[in-house]
Structure 1
Amino acid sequence: MNTQLTQLFRGVILSVGITALSGCGTAGYYTRIIQGHFDIINRQQPIDAALERTDIDEDLRHKLLLVKKARYFASEALHLPENDSYLYYADIGREYVAWNVVAVPALSLTPKTWCYPIAGCVSYRGYHSREEAQAYADSLTQQGYDVTINGAAAYSTLGWFDDPVLNTMITWRDPALIGLIFHELAHQKLYIKDSSAFNESFASFVQREGVARWYTAQGDVGALNQERQRYQRRRDFLSLLNDTRQALEALYAQDWTTSEALAE
């Protein structure tokens, strides 16, 4: 059975199982999500086939060759899953593959969570359509939530499907693209339901360590040092965010009305 038929079969089984476990409204959401993923599958082609095209853009050629090398390194050096993920390329014709809706109650930093049969409970709800994400975000705003919509360049199906490389990922810097491959494969290697913080911490560690090993193996000390500096700047920024979070939590904990707290 070829890759697309195998993924179609998995999708049908997944759809039937989810529909049986869900209410009508929720089942409709899952159906649209699966349809959106099948649209991606239908657009994909083997990376080797894309590289054989005479009209391929040179920047795209460079990125796809880089992905091939990173994919091999991921399995051989990092012992990440060796499957057909990231051996295919799909141009989906848009800036992001998905849009994630994140919501928190007023005067709170604790996000609303949504629970799914496979992924467990997470603090976002994803859509393949920006319009659908906006409509849902608007409904949450009307309920009193503070809402934001974040575009996503990639997502992991946690091994249920063979995730392709997308045009949304190709514009990233080389180390960021390599790291993204390692990050998403790490989710396939280990994912614990209802443990978003752990899952992201684990995948981010694999990403960071994988990129370091990648440049070490190539003897590229300059690139390795640059990535270490970027990581340190990221840590400094996250530390600043954490300080801001603590200040806001202290503010929200006071016995003020919403308008008074926002004025502060």
Structure 2
Amino acid sequence: METKVDEIAEGIYRLSTWVPEIAPPAGLTFNQFLIHAEEPLLFHTGPRAMFPLVSDAVGRICPVAELRWVAFGHVESDECGSMNQWLAAAPDAKVAHGALGCEVSLNDLCDRPPRPMADGEVLDLGGKRVRHLDTPHVPHNWEARVLYEESTGTLLCGDLFSHLGDGPALTTDDIVGPAMHMETMFRYSSLGPDLPVTLARLAELDTSTLALMHGSSFTGNGRNALRELADAYDARFLAHA
């Protein structure tokens, strides 16, 4: 395996590792995002076994020891499995997550106390600003959240819009259809009435880049993409109901 590095917005880098053994022949990418600022932030850590690959990729952009923040969408191995390896490699780094996630999991799991964040709270990285937004159970997990980088209009989506394949780092193509195809295969989202409501809330953001955990990131009208995803899930939930 190899980890590719691409800048998808000004100062925001996608670190992508394709694993062909998952859902072959398309395979699945595991993506992390480095926000290069005075206080660099890594969103998603990758699982423990990927730490050598991902840390090498981060090192192509800035020294790993200079990392100040480690963040992720929710508590799951591909999102935060190697977080303590990152904390060991970057002695000044802290995990930043929603207050609920810190209370139920991360206060115990992190080797250093995490930084809890309130819904809507902004973390000033110096040159970049990330806003924490709680999204409980969307797409899954009670402590789920996303981050919104204000200066570039980049939404760090976690597992939202996940799709298969090793496509380009950044696409203008439809990502809703492929996401619903993967939903049919894996049923990874919590299908409930709050899901389209949460997506509609995210659609109020002025988003031009959607940074995806699995699959190609998207550039274009992020608001419309989020509304279309909300409509697709709303139709699927109503059909099940």
> What interval of TM-score do these two structures reach, taking the shorter chain for normalisation?
under 0.3
Q: Counting strand residues as a fraction of each chain, which structure ranks higher?
A: 2
TM-score (normalised: structure 2): 0.25
Computing the radius of gyration from Cα coordinates, the structure with the larger value is: 1
Q: Which structure: greater helix fraction?
A: 1
State TM-score, norm by structure 1: 0.24
